[in-house]
Structure 1
Amino acid sequence: MATLQKSIDAREETSLGPYSTMDDTSEDAMGDTEDIFGIVNQLISKVTGLERTIKHWCHKPVAFHAVRDGGEYPHLGKYQHIVFSTVLLNIGNGYSANHGIFTAPKAGLYIFSASILSNYKPATSLFAADIVKGGHVLARVYGHGVNGYHDQRLATVVTQLRAGEQVWVRLNCCANDSLWGYRYTTFSGSLISLLN
């Protein structure tokens, strides 16, 4: 009877799994646990990546396109904002037709483009203009019509903006200058990507 009890006790000790002494079976169990944690971490990474992709593609777009209609746009002063008063697109309401200023509704990477057409009159056929971000020049355009002809120039920039930062186009030269409209003089911009 004592021998039978010893045999039962021995079988119970070996069947306790990780609570028994270390053997190959317990090491396999630990390896399986590490594999499961690795798989879970991979799944978490993939879900996080999908969340970023969905956030990027499902964000509300921001874009505007404004132009100068009519002919001559006269009597511009040096460093005066050029107001593109005809708004053809303003998704996100970032562009103000009253002041010619775009205010970023959200932080991100933006692209802006400004096209300027000079006047054809000799006294006002020269112009220089800046694309400005918060008072700092991002790009410049220069044109000089000659012999009664207009001259058109274009600049495009990509920049990062925080929510509330502003971008506009201003005349750099010359005082009492004039530009030409008829939708040749334009300003547009768009949010390319949200930034994390």
Structure 2
Amino acid sequence: MCSVIFLLVLAASPALISTRLVNSYDNFPEESIDAREKTSLGPYSTMDDKTDTTDGTTEENQLITRITALEETIKHLGHKPVAFHAVRDGNEYPHLGINQHIVFGTVLLNIGNGYSAHHGIFTAPKAGLYIFSASILSYNGPKTSLFAADIVKGGYLLARLYGHGVNGYHDQGSATVVTQLKAGEQVWVRQAWPPNDSLYGGRYTTFSGSLISF
């Protein structure tokens, strides 16, 4: 008998539950039903439901962020590159004194016009991170086969080059540096030792640089 009663109650339960839900739904105020319908969307809620429009600042801030990013992109695209490459032509480059500028007189590239072929000096047209490289070939005379040279920034030593040819042979030295420059700061290569020295040209002796970041 108990089993039969249990089965009858179980069979009737869905109908009773459904009736109670309908009655409960009918008893909700209209505004509460609308609220329930909105929240029932769950993960399918629209972006408009999540937008903070209490003071209008959210959309405004997003717009400002996008405009700022666009301005930065345009600013970077507007920057022209800076690069140069200069060499020594001919054979002997004689009579170099201590601390004398080594002039690389043949200019093969000079974007931004930062390098002076007359003085052998590079002047930064804009601030940024630069890379410079110099390579020098010694002369092969018995008294001029040795050289020591410097890459300097405003007279401050950045790197040194050295070469010492023997038995009539040349020797080559090179160095590469990366340095931060302000607009107007200068970089050049100078003879360090010995006095009254000679170097070899033939485009073995070169000086180059480029702006890599600003």
* TM-score, normalised with respect to structure 1: 0.78
Task: Determine which structure has more spread, i.e. the larger CA radius of gyration.
Answer: 2
Aligned residue identity for 1:171: Q
RMSD: 2.2
Distance 2:213 2:189 in 1: 22
Distance 1:162 1:106 in 2: 7
Shift of 1:144: 0.9
Within the alignment, does 1:158 sit opposite 2:167 as a pair? no
- Residue number among 131, 155, 164 corresponding to 1:111 in the alignment: 131
Shift of 1:34: 5.9
What percent identity do the matched residue pairs reach? 77
- Report matched runs for 1:47-58 at 5 Å: 47-58=67-78
- Shift of the 35–144 alpha-carbon distance from structure 1 to 2, 3 Å rule, reads farther
Shift of 1:177: 0.7
Asked if the contact 2:83–2:209 (Cα under 8 Å) also holds between the matched residues in 1, the reply is yes
- Shift of the 51–120 alpha-carbon distance from structure 1 to 2, 3 Å rule, reads same
Aligned residue identity for 1:189: G
Deviations 1:143-166 (A, max 9, x none): 111121111111111111111111
Asked if the contact 1:111–1:158 (Cα under 8 Å) also holds between the matched residues in 2, the reply is yes
- Report matched runs for 1:75-94 at 5 Å: 75-94=95-114
Aligned residue identity for 1:187: F
Residue range with higher mean Cα deviation, 173-182 or 50-59? 50-59
Shift of 1:45: 2.9
Shift of 1:129: 0.7
**Corresponding residue for residue 13 of structure 2:** none
- Report matched runs for 1:17-32 at 5 Å: 32=52
* TM-score, normalised with respect to structure 2: 0.71
Q: How many residues align?
A: 167
Within the alignment, does 1:173 sit opposite 2:196 as a pair? no
Give structure 1 stretches of 5+ with no counterpart: 1-28
Aligned residue identity for 1:145: G
Distance 2:78 2:191 in 1: 37
Larger relative contact order (CA 8 Å, sep ≥ 6): 1
Within the alignment, does 1:138 sit opposite 2:162 as a pair? no
Give structure 2 stretches of 5+ with no counterpart: 1-48
- Shift of the 72–35 alpha-carbon distance from structure 1 to 2, 3 Å rule, reads farther
- Residue number among 48, 66, 88 corresponding to 1:68 in the alignment: 88
Asked if the contact 1:63–1:90 (Cα under 8 Å) also holds between the matched residues in 2, the reply is yes
- Shift of the 77–34 alpha-carbon distance from structure 1 to 2, 3 Å rule, reads farther
**Corresponding residue for residue 100 of structure 1:** 120
Distance 1:65 1:149 in 2: 26
